Amino acid sequence: MSIERVLEGFATAFGRPADGVWSAPGRVNLIGEHTDYNEGFVLPFAIDHRTWVAVGLRPDRTIRVASASVDEVGTSTLDEVGPGAVAGWSAYPFGTVWGLGQVMSAGGASLDAARGFDAYFVSDVPTGAGLSSSAALECSLAVALNDEWALALSGPDLVRATHLAENDVVGAPTGILDQSASLLSEEDAALFLDCRTGESRTVSLGLVEAGLTILVIDTRVTHAHADGGYASRRAGCERAAAALGVKALRDVAVADLEAARGRMDEEAYLRMRHIVTENQRVLDTVAVLDATGAAGIGDLMVASHVSQRDDFEVSVPELDVAVDTSVAAGALGARLTGGGFGGSAIALVPDDLVGEVTAQVTAAFAEHGFKEPKIFAVTPSAGARRDR
């Protein structure tokens, strides 16, 4: 049991008992890819893989972080954790501390009177598989410190703090999708999030009643050029928005696409077409889920994959084989999830075909000479919380 493990780890690392245990989940994005930084819509859900943190306050302003997954223990103080000050994995937890300070300052308060802490992390969220282990790490600590320091920050405040950590201290220019999913999700539901306003609502998934399972197919491919690819996709979106004189591609409708084609370079047009149609697919998916349930969203998932493959060009052969084989084996839909260039696909599979889909995808990977994929079911789970 991970709660016991994290308490033991804390005691061994720091020679005293912890005050409590908190946790936050990784996430899968059901649909809505690369729309977040275009001020559009996303529909993630939290998964049943979590990062647990045991925290104990200290009498001084020192902060120390240790993790079962890393040897290096990070040490700093509450006053030295801003952008540029931290390297390595400590940037995530220390950045979270700084982000909380920023959000407190914006509300006219501060962390000047806060006590330092020791924290120990244990996680079963795979890292770098597109399941957002980084947000799970940040968000577990954010809910812990919100309680320990009695900050009374809201869920959206904690999203802001952890998003600041990832953008400004870690230096990853991502949107609010990951942290929102990890903090705000509810059991058996997806989170419909408007990345322009930050407003969100829970959309019931009802997978158990529908007899459906969501499989994650981790291709175990990580592409070295993912960062550059991400930056160039963002740049394409920005060129398209500038050419049309809109603040963000959120402001373009599917009906505007054809007329816009000649007004920018073709690459920018294709990037835009993915974003604009993907926003519409998120809205359509939410409408179908509300009206008839998850059994009806398979075609939207496949259309999302095709758009990411052909227009946004973030797929790789492993992801295409995962998606095509899943659907051929009886999945209702499948798509790459996360930023692309590797990572994971998801498939929506009738419960009785889970074995078949798993076997066929595994066989197809072997046939193509790909690395063996990791295939596992995920359960839509509750967001960050106190466990003990």
Binding site for ligand ADP (CB under 6 A): 51, 67, 69-70, 89, 92, 121, 123, 127-128, 130-134, 137
User: Which residue in the list 36, 118, 157, 178 is annotated as catalytic?
Assistant: 178
Report what 365 binds from ligand ADP, Mg ion, none; CB cut-off 5-8 Å by kind: none
Q: State which residue, 29 or 326, has the beta carbon closest to ligand ADP.
A: 29
Tokens standing for residue 42: 């996303």
Q: State which residue, 226 or 244, has the beta carbon closest to ligand ADP.
A: 226
Is 178 an active-site residue? yes
Report what 23 binds from Mg ion, ligand ADP, none; CB cut-off 5-8 Å by kind: none
Our measurement of the distance from residue 366's CA atom to the centroid of its chain's CA atoms, rounded to an integer in Å, reads 29
Q: State which residue, 132 or 180, has the beta carbon closest to Mg ion.
A: 132
Q: How far is the CB of 209 from ligand ADP (least distance, A)?
A: 30
Assess contact for 257 and 273: CB atoms under 8 A: yes
Site string for Mg ion, 115-144 (x = CB under 5 A): -----------------x-x----------
Q: Which residues neighbour 94 within 8 Å (Cβ) at sequence distance 6 or greater?
A: 63, 65, 74, 76, 81, 85, 86, 169
d(CA 233, CA 224): 16
Assess contact for 44 and 255: CB atoms under 8 A: no
Q: Phi first, then psi: what are they for 30, rounded to 5°? A: -65, -40
Tokens standing for residue 371: 């690395």
SS (H, E, C) 246-308: CCCHHHCCHHHHHHHHHHCCHHHHHHHHHHHHHHHHHHHHHHHHHHCCHHHCHHHHHHHHHHH
Q: State which residue, 35 or 162, has the beta carbon closest to ligand ADP.
A: 162
Q: How far is the CB of 229 from ligand ADP (least distance, A)?
A: 14
Q: Which residues of 307-342 are buried (b: 16+ CB within 10 A; e: fewer)?
A: bbbebbbbbbebbebbbebbbebebbbbbbbbbbbb
Q: How far is the CB of 17 from Mg ion (least distance, A)?
A: 31
Q: State which residue, 191 or 331, has the beta carbon closest to ligand ADP.
A: 191
Which burial class, exposed, middle or buried, applies to 224 when counting CB atoms under 10 A from its CB (0-12, 13-18, 19+)? exposed
Beta strands 189-194 and 41-57, pairing class? antiparallel
Report what 327 binds from ligand ADP, Mg ion, none; CB cut-off 5-8 Å by kind: none
d(CA 350, CA 352): 6
Q: How far is the CB of 55 from Mg ion (least distance, A)?
A: 22
Q: Is 287 left (phi over 0), alpha (psi -120 to 50) or beta?
A: alpha
Q: How far is the CB of 38 from ligand ADP (least distance, A)?
A: 20
The HSE-up count of residue 104 (CA atoms within 13 Å, CB side) is 19
Q: How far is the CB of 128 from ligand ADP (least distance, A)?
A: 5
Q: State which residue, 27 or 273, has the beta carbon closest to Mg ion.
A: 27
Q: Which residues of 70-93 are buried (b: 16+ CB within 10 A; e: fewer)?
A: eeeebebebeebbeeebeebbbbb
Our measurement of the distance from residue 163's CA atom to the centroid of its chain's CA atoms, rounded to an integer in Å, reads 11
Q: How many C-beta atoms surround the C-beta of residue 365 within 10 A?
A: 21
Q: How far is the CB of 86 from Mg ion (least distance, A)?
A: 16
Q: State which residue, 87 or 150, has the beta carbon closest to ligand ADP.
A: 87
76 near Mg ion, rule: CB under 5 A: no
Report what 67 binds from Mg ion, ligand ADP, none; CB cut-off 5-8 Å by kind: ligand ADP
Report what 130 binds from ligand ADP, Mg ion, none; CB cut-off 5-8 Å by kind: ligand ADP
- Contacts with Mg ion, residue ranges (CB under 5 A): 132, 134
Catalytic positions, written as ranges = 178
